[in-house]
Amino acid sequence: MTPAIDLAEASSTAYTVHSYQHDPHSQSYGTEAAEQLGLTPDQVFKTLVTTCPNGELIVGIVPVSKQLNLKALASAAGVKKIEMADKQKVQRVTGYLLGGVSPIAQKKPLRTFLDSSANKHATIYVSAGRRGLEIELSAADLCRLTNASYADIASS
């Protein structure tokens, strides 16, 4: 179990856990998850942690087929500028290793934004907190568990 699965279970959220054999040489954890689980990359979402000039960390969740639009996330968060956070800080603050960062049950709750495209799917997949482990749930449940807001934050 992981903190993400524990929280989904404790909150009586409908979810399914999917595991696959992670290849340590994989260049893209999200794309690997989609391929290994036979899913479209638009249904698998990656968790990206960014930082503001004031040091606040903000989470953006976008499909693995897209990129996080930093300007759009900054606008959604009401800040002027945002950039990708330091990898070591991400691991320390979330409690998860890179490639397995779940938006759910992070050690420190962070403001979170889920790309609006998640609403196109009955369920979406995000990291369950470990490489090779995904949790499938509705976008609405993900928002509830993470206190996320929807925003158009993905770009091609």
Task: Delimit the domains of the chain by residue range.
Answer: 3-155
Confidence of residue 59 (pLDDT cuts 50, 70, 90): very high
- Average model confidence (pLDDT) across the chain: 96
How many angstroms from the chain centroid is the CA of residue 13? 17
Say whether pLDDT at 136 is over 90.
yes
128: closest CA among 154, 104, 111? 104
Residues 6+ apart with CB under 8 A from 55: none
pLDDT at 27: 81
Domain 3-155 belongs to what topology?
YbaK protein (3.90.960)
> Measured between alpha carbons, how far is 16 from 135 in angstroms, rounded to an integer?
6
Reported as a single tens digit per residue, the pLDDT across 74-128 is: 999 999 999 999 999 999 999 999 989 999 999 999 999 999 999 999 999 999 9
142: closest CA among 67, 64, 46? 46
